[in-house]
Structure 1
Amino acid sequence: MKLRLVPARQGASWVRLGVRTFFRQPLALAGLLFMFMALMSVAGMVPLIGLPIAMTLLPACTLGLMAASREATQGRFPMPLILLTAFRSGAPTLRAMLTLGALYALGFVAVMGLSYLVDGGGFAGMYLGGQAPTSEMLGSAEFQAAMWVFIGLHLPLSLLFWHAPALVYWHKLSPAKSMFFSIVACFRNFWAYTLFAGLWMGIMVLVVLLVTALSSLSGSPGLAASLMLPALLLVASMFFTSLYFTYLDCFEPEGK
């Protein structure tokens, strides 16, 4: 396996390829994202251990979405079982993937725990969906500090695991090595990833503005509420489709 360095403009190419590939198989890729979210939600409902279980499954499910993108690029229809790719890859790879998931779960719980210490759990309750934020809470210095603590610590955690599932599965690396090469790839191709993230954030903001404007022009305030979630899920599907291309361009193909 060899790390590749790419120019900054490649970040825009990843976005473009993600959007183009999504529209090759829109129903399949959108459906797989819905299944992925449903699986995470069901796992998260288990009392006490639900969150760690969901976080442990996250790398494996992310790999399933990347494998679906790969199928779509090759002109094939991704079937629902592709989401379980990591669980059908043999005992050694499955153990490595679950170890990777356990490490991510530990990191996520630690980051969320640190934010809890800052504001007493206000941000954690909102982020995890169990508590509706009030205007007073959103404006408090403690809540904002907890939010920035979470963002500041979760970003490097995400980079450690960005490519890790793909490297464990397609390159048979150990969890530790896959995390190391993942964050190195992200830093060595910093500007490409910065452009990639910036473009997706811009697309999301643009979609929100378009839905809001459409609702305003139609004179139907409820239209925004009806369209916003489907529109954002559509963007999320394209984003997850594009993840495969960030991996594909940053590492030599498996077997080389």
Structure 2
Amino acid sequence: MKLRIVSARTGLDWVTLGIRTFWRQPMALAALFFMTMAIMSLATLIPLIGPAVALVLLPTSTLVMMVAAAQASQGRFPTPALLLVAFRTGQQRLRDMMVLGGLYAACFLGVMGLSALLDGGQFASVYLGGAKMTQEIAEDPAFQRAMWLSMTLYLPLSLLFWHAPGLVHWHGVPPVKALFFSIVACVRNFGAFLVYGLGWMGVFLLGGLVVATVATLLALAGLANTAAGGIMVGAAMMLAAMFFTSVVFTFRDCFDAPGSDAADAAQPPAPAA
């Protein structure tokens, strides 16, 4: 396995490839994304440990979308069976994915714990869904400090885990090494990831503008607010599914293609020249 260094412009290619690939199989990819989110939401209902279990499942959910996008880019139809992709590559890689999930949960909860030192856990309660956001809470300086601290710490955390599911699944890299290689790849390709992030920010802003315009027109036409709300939620889910569809292209261009023994479920697309 070798790290590849790409130009900053490649970040824009990742955005366009994600959008284009999504529209090859929009129903299948949107359905898979919705099912992964539904599974994580159901996991949060487990008493006491629910939120932690949902966090453990996040790297596997990311892997599901990566494999699904790889298949769609190759002209194949991603099926719901991909929800079990982590179970189909051997016990060792399944254990590694679970370890990776455990590490993510521990790190994320650690970030929430540090934020709690600033506001007594108010931000963590709101973020994890245990408390309702109010204007009074949002304007609390302690809450704002905790929020900014969490956002600052979450950036390196996301870089650590960005490529890690793909490295474990396709290259068989142990979890801790996968975290190291992931953040190194992101830092070495900082320009491409900066353009990638800005590109998706633009897509989400444009999408939000379009949805807001449609919602306003529906309101002026006297249609029910529930219809506008449904459109907004559906559009947000679709944009999020497009974003996760693009992740596999960041992975394939940052690392050499794996050998034939890497994974049975699907090879990532061939790296760009």
What is the TM-score of this pair, normalised by structure 1? 0.96
Would you say 1:235 and 2:239 are equivalent positions?
A: yes
Q: CA deviation at 1:215?
A: 2.4
Would you say 1:25 and 2:29 are equivalent positions?
A: no
Q: Partner residue of 2:264?
A: none
Would you say 1:92 and 2:96 are equivalent positions?
A: no
Q: Partner residue of 1:189?
A: 189
The CA deviation string for residues 138-180 of structure 1, in whole angstroms up to 9 with x for no partner, is: 1111111011111111111111010001001111111111100
Alignment of 1:84-233 (within 5 A): 84-218=84-218, 219=220, 220=222, 222=225, 223-233=227-237
Distance 2:135 2:209 in 1: 22
Decide whether the 8 Å contact of 1:68 with 1:83 is kept in 2. Answer: no
Decide whether the 8 Å contact of 1:60 with 1:84 is kept in 2. Answer: no
Q: Partner residue of 2:39?
A: 39
Q: Which runs of 5+ in 2 are unaligned?
A: 261-273
SS in structure 1 at match of 2:14: helix
Q: CA deviation at 1:214?
A: 2.3
Distance 2:201 2:143 in 1: 23
Distance 1:114 1:168 in 2: 29
The CA deviation string for residues 109-157 of structure 1, in whole angstroms up to 9 with x for no partner, is: 1001111221122211221122221111111111110111111111111
AA matched with 2:237: L
Higher mean C-alpha displacement, 212-221 vs 238-247: 212-221
Alignment of 1:52-63 (within 5 A): 52-63=52-63
SS in structure 1 at match of 2:47: coil
Higher mean C-alpha displacement, 224-233 vs 234-243: 224-233
Distance 1:34 1:238 in 2: 12
Q: Partner residue of 2:13?
A: 13
Q: Which runs of 5+ in 1 are unaligned?
A: none
Q: Partner residue of 2:267?
A: none
Q: CA deviation at 1:217?
A: 3.4
Would you say 1:254 and 2:266 are equivalent positions?
A: no
